Amino acid sequence: MTKEQNKALEEIAFRRLRIGYGIALLVAGLLIFLLFGLNTRAGLDATFGMNLSAAQAIIIPDIVLPAQAMVYALAMITVFLGAFQLARGIRSTGTLIGVLAFTFVFAFLTWASQGNSFNLVGMLNSSIVRATPIALAALCGVISERTAVVNIGIEGIMLIAAQTAVVSASLSGNLYVGLLVAILTGGLVAAAHAFLVIKFKVDQIVSGVAINIFGVGITSFISSRFLEKAFTNLNNAGTFPIVPIPILSQIPILGPALFENNIVVYLMLVIVVVMHVVLFYTPWGLRTRAVGEHPKAADTLGINVYFMRYVNVIIGGMIAGLGGAYFTIGAVGRFDEGMTAGKGFIGLAAMIFGNWNPLGAFFSSMIFGFADSLQVKLQILSVPIPSAFLLMAPYIVTMIVLTGVIGRSTPPAADGDPYEK
């Protein structure tokens, strides 16, 4: 293909981007005006809290905005940007999506907070906490699929690990024992998945579905037959306490959000950083990516493809097991049937949206965590939206995100393909 042809194709793609996002911004501006502007009462302020508690060393003044004027201003800005995009065009898709999301979400929050106070730092902290199991599920998917093994059984792994965590913690009286057992349980289930798909070449999707079905079945049976009847004492383990990190927790805004959490959240943050460094800056990560992209070439260079796949899938399962522990000993202290509520599948969506990158998966998980937290905050604010619709928010966001990344995310080249020498 000649340079002229490439340039022509780029111009066609840019024109589609310019028109598509221009129209999207115009529609968003119109919706902001109709849905929020016309339904915001004059004279009311929207207050956005900037402190998690009054005990912080540095107190930042709250942001107080005239609600109606702010919503109208956001609508006008969005319409102007839409017109600019149609006329001139911005080539950065990420910038356009960010602007579109910011103006619409901020207008929505301003409308929801009219006459009330909405704590932004508290929302950030809640988003990180609720994003924890999603991020861990996404990281499990990243490390597995980087060696070309698809694991859609993350939901089942997390469910089984959640139950074993609370039972073992209740039996031992030690939450750390429950955490360790959950991690080992996740690794064990993932090892079974790896054995089936690597050794016997079982279809990876079928194996993952089987794990999910098994996880739901076995945990429901144990819960209804034992934990809710004769052995209720095995379903009351308690939760890890919140441990503020000295000095760091006093940093304005980010300090309370990041450094006033329990051990499961801290471990998630550490795993994100460690996995990113290992994948992209170590020989192990290079071998992992080589196995996922071109296993035959990796084998030719002396890399044990089977060993790399086994180890990475098991590590991924252990990470998912940690995510399962979050639901019980990290959050509520007991096990309830189906308590993972699809977070494993949402984690897979975060993995795809994050382009199979640990940092990308984490920030994508934050989007879903924000949506999950938002529906709780909005119920507290008593916004005139049916609670059933608010509960749907994380799943609606999942569908929107997956629709937006179709054709834009690139999985490892050999993802899902069994390997034979």
Domain residue spans of the chain: 3-115, 122-405
More confident residue, 20 or 201: 201
3 pLDDT higher than 80: no
Mean pLDDT of 125-137: 97
Burial 157-178 (b: 16+ CB within 10 A, else e): bbbbbbbbbbbbbbeeeebebb
Evaluated on CA atoms 38, 41, 44, 46, the torsion sign reads negative
139 pLDDT higher than 80: yes
196 pLDDT higher than 90: yes
More confident residue, 420 or 394: 420
Dihedral over alpha carbons 97, 39, 370, 215 (to 10 degrees): -110
Reported as a pLDDT band with limits 50, 70 and 90, residue 6 is confident
Give pLDDT, residue 1: 58
316 pLDDT higher than 60: yes
404 pLDDT higher than 70: no
- Residue 30's CB: how many other CB atoms inside 10 A? 15
154 pLDDT higher than 80: yes
94 pLDDT higher than 90: no
User: What 3-state class would DSSP assign to 154?
Assistant: helix
pLDDT per residue as tens digits for the range 19-56? 988 999 999 999 999 999 999 999 999 999 998 877 77
- CB distance 37 to 72 below 8 Å: yes
- CB distance 67 to 38 below 8 Å: no
Give pLDDT, residue 408: 67
289 pLDDT higher than 60: yes
One CATH from 3.30.1380, 1.20.1740, 3.80.10, 1.10.3470 for 122-405: 1.10.3470
406 pLDDT higher than 60: no
Reported as a pLDDT band with limits 50, 70 and 90, residue 420 is confident
65 pLDDT higher than 70: yes
Mean pLDDT of 130-151: 98
pLDDT per residue as tens digits for the range 96-115? 888 888 999 999 999 999 99
Q: How far, in Å, CA of 115 to CA of 127, rounded?
A: 23
Q: How far, in Å, CA of 134 to CA of 365, rounded?
A: 6
218 pLDDT higher than 90: yes
Q: Would you state the structure tokens that stand for residue 178, as one six-digit string?
A: 């429950």
Mean pLDDT of 141-169: 98
Mean pLDDT of 273-281: 98
Reported as a pLDDT band with limits 50, 70 and 90, residue 272 is very high
pTM of the model: 0.93
Mean pLDDT of 137-143: 98
108 Cβ contact list (under 8 Å, min separation 6) = 36
Reported as a pLDDT band with limits 50, 70 and 90, residue 415 is very high
Round the average pLDDT of the chain to a whole number and report it: 92
Please report the DSSP string for 231-295 in residue order: TGGGG----PPPEEPTTGGGSTTHHHHHHEE-HHHHHHHHHHHHHHHHHHHSHHHHHHHHHHH-H
- CB distance 197 to 139 below 8 Å: no
Provide the residue type at 321 as one letter.
G
pLDDT per residue as tens digits for the range 324-380? 999 999 999 999 999 999 999 999 999 998 999 999 999 999 999 998 898 888 888
220 pLDDT higher than 70: yes
- Cα separations in angstroms, 325 against 16, 369, 376: 46, 17, 22
